[in-house]
A = this chain, B = another copy of it.
Amino acid sequence: MSTIKDVAKKANVSIATVSRVINGLGGVKPDTEKRILKAIKEMNYLPNHLARSMVKKRTDTIGVIVPDITNPFFPEVIKGIEVSARKHGFTTFLANSNESVAEESRILHVLRKRRVDGLIVTTSNELESPLLQFESDEIPIVLLDRDIEGSSYDAVIIDNVGGAYAAVKHLITEGHSQIGLIAGPSSVTPGRDRTKGYLKALKDFGIQVNPDYIREGDFKEESGYRLGSELLSMPSPPTAIFSCNNLMTLGLLKYIQDQGLRLKEDVTVIGFDDLDIANFIKPPLTVVSRPMRYMGEVAANLLIDRINGLESTEPRKIVLVPQLLVREP
Assembly CA distance A277 to B112 (angstroms): 40
Tell me, in angstroms, the Cα distance from A49 to B135 when the chains sit together: 20
Give the number of copies in the complex. 2
A91 and B107 CA atoms in complex are apart in Å by 9
Interfacial residues, chain A to chain B (CB-CB below 8 A):
1, 44, 46-51, 53-54, 59, 69-70, 72, 75-76, 78-79, 82, 91-96, 109-110, 112-115, 135, 138, 250, 253-254, 257, 275-277, 279-281
Q: Known contacts A91-B110, A110-B91; decide if A50 and B115 are in contact (CB<8 Å).
A: yes
Task: Check if A94 sits within 8 Å of B94, measured CB to CB.
Answer: yes
The answer for the CA separation of A72 and B69 in the assembled complex, in Å, is 9
Chain B nearest CB: distance from A258 CB in Å?
Answer: 9
| CA gap between A275 and B280 in the complex, in Å | 12
Quick check: B70 and A75 within 8 Å, CB to CB? yes
A46 touches B91 (CB 8 A): no
Tell me, rounded to whole Å, the shortest Cβ–Cβ distance linking A297 to chain B. Answer: 14
Please judge, given known A-B contacts A48-B115, A69-B75, A114-B91, whether A280 and B279 are in contact too, CB under 8 Å.
no
* A94 CB to nearest chain B CB (Å): 4
Instruction: Specify which chain B residues have a CB less than 8 angstroms from the CB of A115 in the assembled complex.
Output: 48-50
Partner of A280 from B44, B47, B114, B280 at Cβ < 8 Å: B280
A91-B110, A113-B46 known; A69-B79 Cβ under 8 A: yes
Find the B residue at minimum CB distance from A221. Answer: B276
B277 touches A276 (CB 8 A): yes
Is B54 in contact with A51, judged by CB distance below 8 angstroms?
Answer: yes
Q: Which residues on the B side are within 8 Å of A138 (C-beta)?
A: 1
